[in-house]
Amino acid sequence: MKVFIRNMLLRKRVGAPATVAFLALSVMASMPEAGVEQRRGMSTDGVPDILLLNSANPRNRVAHLAESWHPGRELSEMRYTVLTDSIRQVLARYPRFLDPDEQEALARMLLAEGERHDIDPLFLAAVIRIESAFSADAISNKGARGLMQVMPATGEEMAQKLGIEWNGPNRLHDPEYNVRLGSFYLRRLLDRYRGNYKRALTAYNRGPRNVRYIERRHGRLRRKFTGYFRRIQETYSYYRRSLGPGAALLQVG
């Protein structure tokens, strides 16, 4: 039933508030009545039936339902499912490097890191699309590695700051490890540039020293220096449009 509802909502691209409300009502409707003793029997055609016996006082049932249902937890789980499926729809467009299991795992990683660092997970997906085209084995001519093309020196520094083990550059080809370090590094750049995605992404691509040099020489980041940011922004905007209003995405830029 949950799969049917989820697929129906995604096909019709219902907005996030409507999605959550509809799923919440579905959960409530599917709950067994409190205080009802259940006994399994067999119908004449051999199919098991559930027989409801000894119904408790209606007031007690209502009170029990109020105590047992936790709307915050239920809505959080529903939102997580809807957002994960939305991200997975995007990742499913790249089957060359991501099989269905890898799409599921990466969708969950992007959602987790996005929420941890307050970055839209679809924006992280756009960064990965431009950086590596979703190939965990990618290596640039400058030595950047993995999904988010993290430089080994940067990866080692971020691992130390996160307090996690660093086992050398090859570890950057582990998708989970790479996304964790890359997302953390991008968050640090966003903090450094006070939430300015154009400057942060240019620094992610060119390095903070080069951004500082460009700004000193030219006064600001002119258009010719921000092509990388525009490519990511265009990809991100395309992902947003393709998913419709139900993705509940963050505003960037």
pLDDT, tens only, 149-205: 999 999 999 999 999 999 999 999 999 999 999 999 999 999 999 999 999 999 999
Q: Is there a contact between 110 and 121 (Cβ–Cβ < 8 Å)?
A: yes
Tens digit of each residue's pLDDT (9 = 90 or more) over 213-245:
999 999 888 889 999 999 999 999 999 988 876
Long-range contacts of 146-151 (CB under 8 A, 24+ apart): 146/172, 146/173, 146/174, 146/175, 146/177, 146/178, 146/182, 147/106, 147/175, 147/178, 147/179, 147/182, 148/124, 148/178, 148/179, 148/181, 148/182, 148/183, 148/186, 149/182, 150/178, 150/181, 150/182, 150/185
Q: Is there a contact between 35 and 61 (Cβ–Cβ < 8 Å)?
A: yes
Q: Is there a contact between 16 and 247 (Cβ–Cβ < 8 Å)?
A: yes
CATH number of 97-247: 1.10.530.10
- For the chain, which residues make up each domain, given as ranges? 2-73, 97-247
Tens digit of each residue's pLDDT (9 = 90 or more) over 7-47:
544 444 444 444 444 444 344 444 444 443 444 444 344 43
